[in-house]
Amino acid sequence: MDRSRDDGAFKRRRLFIVLSLMAVVAVVFFHWCFGWVVVIGDSMQPTYRSGDLLFVQRAAYRGTDPERGDIIVARFRSDWIVKRIIALPGESVEVQEGVVRVNGKPVCEPYPVQPGALTIGRGDLSEERWAVLGDNRSLADSSLFYAVIPRQSIMGKVVTSVRWH
pLDDT of residue 164: 76
Where residue 128 falls among pLDDT bands split at 50, 70, 90?
Answer: very high
User: Quick one: CA dihedral 106, 108, 109, 115, positive or negative?
Assistant: positive
Active site residues: 43, 83
Q: How far apart are CA 134 and CA 47, in angstroms?
A: 9
Rounded Cα distance between 44 and 67, Å, is 18
Under the banding of pLDDT at 50, 70 and 90, the label for residue 123 is: very high
pTM flag (> 0.85)? no
Q: How many Å separate Cα 77 from the centre of its chain? A: 16
Fold that domain 35-162 belongs to in CATH: Umud Fragment, subunit A (2.10.109)
- Stretch among 26-30, 86-90, 120-124, 159-163 having the lowest mean pLDDT: 26-30
Q: What residue spans define the domains of the chain?
A: 35-162
Which residues have a Cβ under 8 Å from the Cβ of 21 and sit 6 or more positions away?
A: none
